[in-house]
Amino acid sequence: MKGNVVAQSDLEAVHWFQKAAKSGLAEAQFNQGTMIESGRGIAQNLPEARRWYRMAADQGDTNAQLNLGAMIGSGKGGPQNSVEAVQWFKKAAAGGNQRAKGTLRTLAEKGCIEA
Protein backbone atom coordinates (compact mmCIF):
# COMPACT_ATOMS: atom_id res chain seq x y z
CA MET A 1 0.00 0.00 0.00
CA LYS A 2 2.79 2.44 0.87
CA GLY A 3 5.28 1.33 -1.78
CA ASN A 4 7.98 0.23 0.67
CA VAL A 5 10.36 -2.25 -1.00
CA VAL A 6 7.91 -2.80 -3.91
CA ALA A 7 6.04 -0.45 -6.22
CA GLN A 8 3.02 1.21 -4.61
CA SER A 9 -0.26 -0.32 -5.79
CA ASP A 10 -3.65 0.17 -4.17
CA LEU A 11 -5.04 -2.70 -6.24
CA GLU A 12 -2.34 -5.08 -5.00
CA ALA A 13 -2.78 -3.81 -1.42
CA VAL A 14 -6.51 -4.56 -1.54
CA HIS A 15 -5.77 -8.07 -2.81
CA TRP A 16 -3.47 -8.85 0.13
CA PHE A 17 -5.60 -7.06 2.73
CA GLN A 18 -8.62 -9.06 1.58
CA LYS A 19 -6.72 -12.33 1.77
CA ALA A 20 -5.54 -11.59 5.32
CA ALA A 21 -8.91 -10.12 6.34
CA LYS A 22 -10.78 -13.23 5.24
CA SER A 23 -8.47 -15.28 7.46
CA GLY A 24 -9.67 -13.22 10.43
CA LEU A 25 -6.79 -10.77 10.98
CA ALA A 26 -8.36 -7.69 12.58
CA GLU A 27 -5.75 -5.21 11.33
CA ALA A 28 -6.27 -6.42 7.75
CA GLN A 29 -10.05 -6.16 8.20
CA PHE A 30 -9.58 -2.56 9.33
CA ASN A 31 -7.31 -1.83 6.35
CA GLN A 32 -9.78 -3.48 3.97
CA GLY A 33 -12.54 -1.29 5.39
CA THR A 34 -10.38 1.80 4.93
CA MET A 35 -9.62 0.97 1.30
CA ILE A 36 -13.29 0.26 0.53
CA GLU A 37 -14.53 3.34 2.36
CA SER A 38 -12.16 5.58 0.40
CA GLY A 39 -12.46 3.70 -2.90
CA ARG A 40 -8.71 3.08 -3.13
CA GLY A 41 -7.93 0.08 -5.31
CA ILE A 42 -11.54 -1.07 -5.17
CA ALA A 43 -14.96 0.48 -5.78
CA GLN A 44 -16.20 2.57 -2.86
CA ASN A 45 -18.91 0.67 -1.00
CA LEU A 46 -19.87 2.21 2.35
CA PRO A 47 -22.02 -0.67 3.66
CA GLU A 48 -19.17 -3.08 2.85
CA ALA A 49 -16.61 -0.82 4.55
CA ARG A 50 -18.83 -0.69 7.61
CA ARG A 51 -19.06 -4.50 7.61
CA TRP A 52 -15.25 -4.89 7.57
CA TYR A 53 -14.86 -2.28 10.33
CA ARG A 54 -17.41 -4.13 12.45
CA MET A 55 -15.51 -7.42 12.09
CA ALA A 56 -12.28 -5.77 13.22
CA ALA A 57 -14.04 -3.74 15.93
CA ASP A 58 -15.61 -6.87 17.37
CA GLN A 59 -12.07 -8.24 17.77
CA GLY A 60 -10.97 -5.14 19.69
CA ASP A 61 -9.22 -3.12 16.97
CA THR A 62 -9.53 0.41 18.35
CA ASN A 63 -9.03 2.12 14.97
CA ALA A 64 -11.88 0.06 13.54
CA GLN A 65 -14.01 0.88 16.58
CA LEU A 66 -13.38 4.59 16.00
CA ASN A 67 -14.15 4.41 12.27
CA LEU A 68 -17.22 2.25 12.84
CA GLY A 69 -18.48 4.72 15.43
CA ALA A 70 -17.96 7.58 12.98
CA MET A 71 -19.84 5.76 10.22
CA ILE A 72 -22.71 4.84 12.55
CA GLY A 73 -22.83 8.35 13.99
CA SER A 74 -23.09 9.94 10.55
CA GLY A 75 -25.24 7.24 8.96
CA LYS A 76 -22.60 6.38 6.35
CA GLY A 77 -23.22 2.95 4.88
CA GLY A 78 -26.22 2.14 7.05
CA PRO A 79 -28.61 3.41 9.69
CA GLN A 80 -27.55 6.38 11.82
CA ASN A 81 -27.47 5.76 15.58
CA SER A 82 -25.81 8.29 17.88
CA VAL A 83 -26.07 6.10 20.98
CA GLU A 84 -24.33 3.16 19.30
CA ALA A 85 -21.69 5.49 17.84
CA VAL A 86 -20.79 6.78 21.31
CA GLN A 87 -20.57 3.20 22.59
CA TRP A 88 -17.97 2.42 19.90
CA PHE A 89 -16.04 5.63 20.68
CA LYS A 90 -15.98 4.63 24.36
CA LYS A 91 -14.70 1.13 23.55
CA ALA A 92 -11.95 2.62 21.38
CA ALA A 93 -11.03 5.15 24.07
CA ALA A 94 -10.96 2.43 26.75
CA GLY A 95 -8.54 0.56 24.50
CA GLY A 96 -6.22 3.58 24.48
CA ASN A 97 -7.19 5.19 21.15
CA GLN A 98 -6.28 8.86 21.52
CA ARG A 99 -8.43 10.01 18.60
CA ALA A 100 -11.47 8.35 20.21
CA LYS A 101 -10.67 10.11 23.50
CA GLY A 102 -10.54 13.39 21.61
CA THR A 103 -13.85 12.66 19.90
CA LEU A 104 -15.51 11.97 23.25
CA ARG A 105 -14.03 15.18 24.72
CA THR A 106 -15.38 17.17 21.77
CA LEU A 107 -18.84 15.59 22.10
CA ALA A 108 -18.86 16.38 25.82
CA GLU A 109 -17.76 19.98 25.23
CA LYS A 110 -20.59 20.41 22.73
CA GLY A 111 -23.04 18.99 25.26
CA CYS A 112 -23.86 15.96 23.11
CA ILE A 113 -22.84 13.54 25.87
CA GLU A 114 -22.07 13.76 29.58
CA ALA A 115 -18.41 14.12 30.47
- Spell out the residues 6+ positions from residue 28 whose beta carbon is closer than 8 angstroms to its own: 16, 17, 18, 19, 20, 21
What CATH architecture does domain 10-109 belong to? Alpha Horseshoe (1.25)
Quick: pLDDT tens for 7-46.
677 899 899 899 999 999 999 999 999 999 999 999 999 9
**Phi, psi of 4, rounded to the nearest 5 degrees:** -80, 125
Quick: pLDDT tens for 90-105.
999 999 999 999 999 9
d(C-alpha 80, C-alpha 103), whole Å: 17
Domain boundaries of the chain, sorted by first residue: 10-109
**pTM, 2 dp:** 0.90
